[in-house]
A and B are shown apart, each in its own frame.
Chain A
Amino acid sequence: MAEVVSPVPGAGRREPGEVGRTRGPPVADPGAALSPQGEIIEGCRLPVLRRNQDNEDEWPLAEILSVKDISGRKLFYVHYIDFNKRLDEWVTHERLDLKKIQFPKKEAKTPTKNGLPGSRPGSPEREVPASAQASGKTLPIPVQITLRFNLPKEREAIPGGEPDQPLSSSSCLQPNHRSTKRKVEVVSPATPVPSETAPASVFPQNGSARRAVAAQPGRKRKSNCLGTDEDSQDSSDGIPSAPRMTGSLVSDRSHDDIVTRMKNIECIELGRHRLKPWYFSPYPQELTTLPVLYLCEFCLKYGRSLKCLQRHLTKCDLRHPPGNEIYRKGTISFFEIDGRKNKSYSQNLCLLAKCFLDHKTLYYDTDPFLFYVMTEYDCKGFHIVGYFSKEKESTEDYNVACILTLPPYQRRGYGKLLIEFSYELSKVEGKTGTPEKPLSDLGLLSYRSYWSQTILEILMGLKSESGERPQITINEISEITSIKKEDVISTLQYLNLINYYKGQYILTLSEDIVDGHERAMLKRLLRIDSKCLHFTPKDWSKRGKW
């Protein structure tokens, strides 16, 4: 698991200051610690009832990420193990199978996942005592926390809280999680942070434990998302280096924390649609408590209430994205929006998109991006269906930064249409391109599907000339489709088309591949018509700024 730490000799230290914070009555937080169901705390794993697509009940294993108490009723934010974060949800205790509850255990660590943080929280490995964690204090998830009996004798033995001797996490682990007096050990994170976690940096003072905790940049985690004041303190302590300024996605979770791991918007109303966000999005914090966030369908401005939206609509006369239409066929149009020239729309779009894109980062401004918004026209205007963003200048051949079909329009071919459009732009530019990584699961499926269909289309379209076997190079495929060579190869591999035969590589199109492709293409009705594209690429490198 990502959060499990391989102990770094010398890096581990005991933080006496932590004692005061975590010690105390075992029932520090009534919301979590001593519920009738027992001590359900952050980090616990237990089967949670959920209904799958087939409307069947299932009890996947889930982890408690957060606990909140709303008018005496406890709610638990659960992450289903091995499910995507987007399915995380608040559940009542009725849905918890307490009989099978696993408390966070050191031993449960699976070393194979060390250092590979992902969307799944996977924090049960944290060695956090139930009572200690229940206090709601922040403990960073990627930090290994071990327990000790917090005996006076032991404290005498280590006066002043000087750095502890190297601490193997397992050796210090106390099996008794219920012990009332504990000491929490903060062990170095999986990715050692040079400055603060190095043995040289000493925390001679009591109360420095928090600093040690916060010293892991961006790793501060909150066991209780409601403690917002805690957050600000933490952030000032460990200032991580700012993320890279290119691209739109973060792959490492270094800037992830408990806040961003949890959805914060309950519902978004956008035009006719009510969307349930999948991920965190940094809408103004005061709006996160609203049951519904109202967005203007056309300018995407957010409002507190329906009344606000109503009032806004009297002032907002947009009926299409505020950009230049560069493509129109039928009801489908594409609008190009410059992230520098139309900041407010770009930002609103990003905020909305972040609700559905886990890895999207909104850390930096939108200046270096262009946004291509796909709309569907009806008598009310041009309704946003999806969009993709694109760096004006990409150093890594990215032709798409973020890409999203809004949930109401998903699984109807719009995603592929967006992808196709992005490659059409690349064709006009005369470049090959690839989407920015990491891909999401849906992104991978969509792109693979698009690549497969596009490549198969070409391969099947090749006619044998003068009786000879048709042949094509990978470069040719890449040039024709603007799909980057690597993606072509990976698709050929994925489709198992490429084989080595008689000393050379060949492409084999089996019957079921051909059949499958033909069936799929029958369903693929929405296509981009390059004749309808009116697009002149700009050479952004020649401008002073994007």
Chain B
Amino acid sequence: MSKLSFRARALDAAKPLPIYRGKDMPDLNDCVSINRAVPQMPTGMEKEEESEHHLQRAISAQQVFREKKESMVIPVPEAESNVNYYNRLYKGEFKQPKQFIHIQPFNLDNEQPDYDMDSEDETLLNRLNRKMEIKPLQFEIMIDRLEKASSNQLVTLQEAKLLLNEDDYLIKAVYDYWVRKRKNCRGPSLIPQIKQEKRDGSTNNDPYVAFRRRTEKMQTRKNRKNDEASYEKMLKLRREFSRAITILEMIKRREKTKRELLHLTLEVVEKRYHLGDYGGEILNEVKINRSEKELYATPATLHNGNHHKVQECKTKHPHHLSLKEEASDVVRQKKKYPKKPKAEALITSQQPTPETLPVINKSDIKQYDFHSSDEDEFPQVPSPVSEPEEENDPDGPCAFRRRAGCQYYAPRLDQANHSFENSELADLDKLRYRHCLTTLTVPRRCIGFARRRIGRGGRVIMDRISTEHDPVLKQIDPEMLNGFSSSSQTIDFSSNFTRTNASNKHCENRLSLSEILSNIRSCRLQCFQPRLLNLQDSDSEECTSRKSGQTVNNKRVSAASVALLNTSKNGISVTGGITEEQFQTHQQQLVQMQRQQLAQLQQKQQSQHSSQQTHPKAQGSSTSDCMSKTLDSASAHFAASAVVSAPVPSRSEVAKEQNTGHNNINGVVQPSGTSKTLYSTNMALSSSPGISAVQLVRTVGHTTTNHLIPALCTSSPQTLPMNNSCLTNAVHLNNVSVVSPVNVHINTRTSAPSPTALKLATVAASMDRVPKVTPSSAISSIARENHEPERLGLNGIAETTVAMEVT
């Protein structure tokens, strides 16, 4: 082979190979020994097995004989095909269908039990069948269920009874048998199953564990970008689903509570019926004793309908009295006066007294008119359009809804006057009908006879009553009451209202204006008017600061309020007083500005400077300018509150006004009071857990700039029931707002997406630990902070969502 010393070319799979056959074949001797040029292909077997005796024998036999020889095959263990009972076992015949067999995907899962009876079971069955009939399949289903319900622990007999829909005796028999059999069973289950892998990896080596799940997805191609996007989407989906779950759970809870309430009420009614308590006297008696509980229970029951809060928030306009009020007055009465006012003492002290009871009783009567969840259709962000609708259909969102836990009396309009006449009586029943002459701060006017009561969540609602004196009363200028407004009666509770306690007794018949005035002056007639909330006791921790006493520590108050304003990120620190006109102007500006929000960004800095000016007018406008940036969001609300709370430094002026008792506008929106409110709100936001996040969102969404305050305020009574000052602030603000529904439409326009409000609120909440920033530093920081409320607020959503209970 010396001539073949050259190296053969590599085998080219693409090169044609000529085929030589038979006699054409060249002498193979010429061809040999170039095999190295053709790489020897591996057999694909494991080396060690390749050398096995029988294989080698078979291979060589094939090489030699070119076909298999019987004796040279690889021996294998024998198999028999002589199962003689086959035909008995597999009964019947199966005709081959003409068409190819095509299985339906879900045909395979028939509901047959996996457990197959064995002969032992058959013995039992035969025994049992002497007493009762039990089919093998029935037995198998029972065992199957028992097996599948048991994991490591066997199900108990009790569980078994629940599991098996059979005769008790049968269950017992089968259960006992099963337990016995299971104990003797070697395997983990009577239904033999492949061992499952365990998560801890302890079974990684177990040869009996099979069909492990492939933990890592087999990556056949990579599409990272896509993956990321879908991952995000999945996350979002997950979040949304969990939100939906939360909501549904809340609804479930609410509906459950409703049902419970219904049952309880039914029970009460039944009991009352049996007692013959048709007039509610017994109930009242009982309630008197339990009044304390009642009062606290009230807000809790209000969880029932979230939308309640929304509505009520909408009607809260602390700073403005509606000009259109009269127009909608009649209708409104229906929705706004579900409850009788409470005595102020009750409101402020939060001490439940018997007087509150009738209120509750009254509303209780129609309590069965439950609202269901599908009433929850209030838009999150109120559109201007919705406002007129509400006006036209005042019962719409503000419609009176029976409150759970309340007793409602039938309207007693006929007794209206009567109640006045008898208001002197200490009679509890009568007391609740007591209406007082009431004056509002914004707009400054007298609204006639009204009574205050605490609404849900501590908002104060003014129930107005029409009397024959109305025309006269309308003429009353709050200024006229100046002299005697800030009577001492309200001093002990930090009410925004000064309660002028005149004698309850006033003329039954028409009185002249002067008569009324004189009555008031002589304290024969009670007259309420908002009173400047005086200085708050802000030196101690926020929550303990209780009430505003007199306007004593002006400087401190202003400092505190400014600090609070800062912390609440409204970015406006307004110093100086504010008048009603200013405020109204401001309102309009707010509305305007919302339309041009971003355009006015530039003015912010300037306005902040100007906001520190003491000149009221300038301040008002500049404040508005300030807010231009954040107006689209809830910061507008804060801005409004800031404006409202602005006049801190101009304490003297405020004080003066307060003294006069007429310019009580600032009383409502009194700086310390407001900041206090915010403050407590913050507290509420941060402290109160619960579901009402949604409510808050909605509330804020619905309410306007000014509404935020009451909305937030409403949280305070519940979350901080001890904080009387806050409470009263809230109460009074609400009080006013109820009476001034006109602003709704204005405010609605200025209202903004709620989340931002939430953020801001949260920020405020998170920041409220620095209340004692000096005014100057606070102000200086405003500019900076004003830029970043959004950013700061972002982190707050989570906390905010649990924060507020608006009830």
Contact = CB atoms under 8 A, between A and B. Distances in A.
Contacts of B162: none
A534 B204 contact: no
B421 interface: no
Interface residues of B, number: 114
Chain A CB count within 10 A is highest, among B40, B49, B50, B193, for B49
B426 interface: no
Contact of B102 (A246, A324, A490, A516): A324
Contacts of A480: none
Contact of B207 (A259, A272, A462): A259
B17 A471 contact: yes
Contact of A478 (B13, B49, B87, B93): B13
A32 to B, nearest CB: 22
A506 B43 CA distance: 22
A275 B90 CA distance: 18
Interface in B160-219: 185-188, 192-195, 201-218
Interface in B308-324: none
A363 B210 contact: yes
Interface string B393-406: 00000000000000
Contacts of A504: 9, 15, 17-18
B66 interface: yes
A362 B192 contact: no
A289 B89 CA distance: 23
A546 B34 CA distance: 46
A282 B689 CA distance: 54
Contacts of A257: 205, 207
Given A235-B206, A239-B204, A393-B220, A519 B89 contact: no
A82 B51 contact: yes
Contacts of B101: 320, 324-325, 333, 335, 382
B151 to A, nearest CB: 16
A308 B114 CA distance: 10
Interface in B1-24: 8-9, 11-22, 24
A343 B103 CA distance: 15
A306 B90 CA distance: 12
B13 A322 contact: no
Given A310-B89, A380-B93, A276 B78 contact: yes
A242 B21 contact: no
Interface stretch (B68-76, B232-240, B277-285, B785-793): B68-76
B122 interface: yes
B586 to A, nearest CB: 59
Given A315-B112, A367-B214, A473-B15, A438 B44 contact: yes
A445 B58 contact: yes
A220 B205 contact: yes
A509 B19 contact: yes
B53 interface: yes
A196 interface: no
Contact of B17 (A240, A440, A506): A506
Given A325-B100, A325-B101, A366-B211, A475 B203 contact: no
A200 interface: no
Contact of A489 (B16, B41, B73, B91): B41
Contacts of A471: 16-19
Main secondary structure on B side of the interface with A: loop
B216 to A, nearest CB: 7
Interface size of A as a range: 35 or more
B221 interface: yes
B74 A445 contact: yes
B186 A341 contact: no
Given A83-B53, A444-B55, A489 B13 contact: yes
A182 B221 CA distance: 57
Contacts of B110: 315
A308 B118 contact: yes
Interface stretch (A93-101, A173-181, A403-411): A403-411
B263 interface: no
Interface in A369-403: 377, 379-382, 393, 395
Contacts of B44: 435, 437-439, 444, 447
Contact of B21 (A251, A259, A514): A514
B162 to A, nearest CB: 25
A289 B186 contact: yes
A273 B79 contact: yes
A455 to B, nearest CB: 11
A310 B186 CA distance: 22
B83 interface: yes
15 contacts: A84-B49, A84-B55, A86-B76, A118-B47, A232-B206, A245-B214, A259-B208, A271-B86, A284-B194, A310-B89, A316-B112, A324-B101, A326-B100, A441-B58, A501-B30
Interface of B: 8-9, 11-22, 24-26, 28, 30-32, 34-35, 37-38, 40-55, 58-59, 62, 65-67, 71, 73-83, 85-87, 89-91, 93-96, 100-103, 105, 108, 110, 112-113, 116-119, 122, 136-137, 140, 185-188, 192-195, 201-218, 220-221
- Kindly list the 8 A-B residue pairs having the minimum CB-CB distance in the complex, ordered from nearest: A118-B48, A516-B66, A490-B41, A286-B187, A235-B205, A499-B31, A319-B94, A407-B79
Given A407-B78, A474-B13, 6 more contacts: A118-B47, A274-B82, A324-B103, A438-B45, A501-B31, A505-B9
